Amino acid sequence: MFNKYTIGNFEVQNRCVRSATATGTCDIVTGILEQKFYDIYESLARGNVGLIIQEHAFVSLKGHADHKQLGIHQDSMIQYHQLANSKMRAANNNIKICSQLAHAGPNCSNENKIEINNASVSDFQIVVQEFKDAAIRAKIANYDCVQIHAGHTYLLSQSISTYYNNRTDEYKASEFKLLKDVLEAIRTVGIPVGVKLQCDDFIEGYSMNAKSACKIIESLQFDFVEVSGGGYTGGAKFGTIRQGKDKYYYQHVIQELKQLNLLNKQPVIVTGGFQNIEDANLAFQDGVPLVGFARKFLRNDQFLIDGDTKKCAKCNQCINGLLKNSEAVCIVSAKQSKLI
């Protein structure tokens, strides 16, 4: 865990990644960061995590998922991102920070949503430009890298899945053209670019599975890839944010990558179910370079430096709070600190 690792043109101080976790601490309409946002990220930075992937930031109003989501959709947002990053770097000069760029597509909260099957070519060209503009803002705001969100049934996730994408034109799922165009557009910006990739729909009979994900990883050259799932289609037992004891739940994708010799083609982050360094060692033993944690950091954002005795119950109350437009809080920690 505590070895350095190179991603793109920068080095992380250890192999622990804070996977993107929406905190519910931005203005519900404007996406502007509230004071709590700065506090949460300063504290995370003090916890010595190698790479902090912030939280899904909408690249345009048509891609706004709500839940008090962070915005990076216009130039006036740059100043707030800059401030957050400078506070984090002041707290810990060694950390690396990633902006996660997202377009919610059909999960957008306003009426003008983009549906993968009804969108026109010019709709897609606008989306590509929006991702590029957001990446330019991220570069100006002093992020070390950006991550394209292509998981969890957002627009890019649906674009690569035959369950959602029934198109027969050049944007059909097997061509992954939209994702490719977004990657190429961001490449011109000159900032390292990774992807959070939907590696399985967990739906019998559809083509988005570990094998098709490997095809994408084989064909496209990202600076890093984070393995994730296709949202909530599989319920609490499958998919992205699983309840229960299951740890290291994308191991089947890692095995597939390993067989195809793809694990180190671009650095892979595997996220999902990990509680502590001991769990992460299972993935390191499989040759995975980087391990991501999300809910664990809500439970204890200092677990890398304080001996880690606090377990995440994987009860998912944190995400339930977020879906009700409040902050993502760990109920267990809040009860113990007598905050509720």
The residue among 175 and 302 lying less far from ligand FMN, judged by its C-beta, is 302
Give the residue among 247, 245, 255, 299 at the shortest CA–CA distance from 271.
247
Tell me: does residue 19 bind ligand FMN (CB under 6 A): yes
Contact residue for ligand FMN among 165, 293, 299, 332 (CB under 6 A) = 293
Taking CB under 6 A as the binding criterion, the range among 40-48, 115-123, 149-157, 283-291 that sits at the site for ligand FMN is 149-157
Angle subtended at Cα 156 by Cα 151 and Cα 159, rounded to the nearest 5 degrees: 110
Show contacts with ligand FMN in window 207-266 (CB under 6 A): 228, 240-241
Taking CB under 6 A as the binding criterion, the range among 25-33, 159-167, 178-186, 317-325 that sits at the site for ligand FMN is 317-325
CB 177 within 8 A of CB 254: no
Phi, psi of 170 (to 5 degrees): -65, -15
To the nearest whole angstrom, how small is the minimum distance from the Cβ of residue 14 to ligand FMN? 16
Three-class SS state of 333: helix
For the chain, the farthest-separated pair of C-alpha atoms sits apart, in whole angstroms, at 56
Angle between helices 35-46 and 78-91 (to 10 degrees): 30
To the nearest whole angstrom, how small is the minimum distance from the Cβ of residue 238 to ligand FMN? 12
To the nearest whole angstrom, how small is the minimum distance from the Cβ of residue 121 to ligand FMN? 27
Contact residue for ligand FMN among 212, 273, 280, 301 (CB under 6 A) = 273
Three-class SS state of 133: helix
CB 310 within 8 A of CB 285: no
Tell me: does residue 49 bind ligand FMN (CB under 6 A): no
How many amino acids of this chain bind ligand FMN (CB under 6 A)? 26
Report the distance separating Cα 231 and Cα 36, nearest Å.
27
Tell me: does residue 103 bind ligand FMN (CB under 6 A): no
Show contacts with ligand FMN in window 71-100 (CB under 6 A): 100
Report the b/e string of 244-263 with b at 16+ CB within 10 A: eeebbbbbebbebbeeeebb
Which positions touch ligand FMN (CB under 6 A)?
A: 19-22, 55-56, 100, 149, 151-152, 196, 228, 240-241, 271-274, 293-296, 318-319, 322, 328
